[in-house]
Copies of this chain bind each other. A is one copy, B any other.
Amino acid sequence: MGDSGIVIIGIDPGTRVTGFGIVRELSGQVSLVDAGTIRTDSKKPMCARLGQIYARIAGLLASHSPDEAAIENIFVASNSASALKLGQARGAAMAACAVSGIIVSGYEPTKVKLNLVGNGRADKSQVAFMVERILGVKNTKWALDTTDALAIAICHLNERRFARMAGK
């Protein structure tokens, strides 16, 4: 870890809306670098939308040079057609990370909630509240896809710290 700390990008992939959140940890303090959503044009063919996701993620990686990435593991209990769509969005985002040489860790939604809120069944507004509190920001009016992505990034920072403390 250099003077600039460690920078993590969290990604909550979706074909319609992909949330992203970039955070920095420096001297034990977590701060916001950038956050938002990638909204694809639903009138465009799927291929073009996946290209938008890839290009925007690649652009964020080039701008902010995160050290590692964390992504939501997709909940697979829905039907296979929606799993396929989500998989495509996830594949485009993960390929962008891999091409930039960034390792991606995956987290189940329940793991992220447990990590941030202390309850694996917390609702999205509770997660959003904790994200704002940890980052020391208020009334951001972030979309839930954005707070989810930031939560994944913060969860990954916490897991890294636990792993280091455990000597893993």
Q: Specify the main secondary structure of chain A where it touches its partner.
A: helix
A63 within 8 A of B: no
Would you list which residues of chain A between 64 and 98 have a CB under 8 Å from chain B?
74, 76-92, 94-98
**CB contact between A98 and one of B50, B83, B84, B104 (< 8 Å): that residue:** B50
Q: Please give me the residue from chain B that is nearest to A100 by CB atom.
A: B51
Q: Specify how many copies of this chain sit in the oligomer.
A: 2
Stretch at the interface among A2-10, A41-49, A132-140, A143-151: A41-49
Bitwise, A21-59 to B at CB < 8 A (1) or not (0) is 000000000000000000000000111101111110000
Provide the residues of chain B in CB contact with A114, threshold 8 Å: none
Task: Name the distance in Å between A119's Cβ and chain B's nearest Cβ.
Answer: 26
A99 within 8 A of B: yes
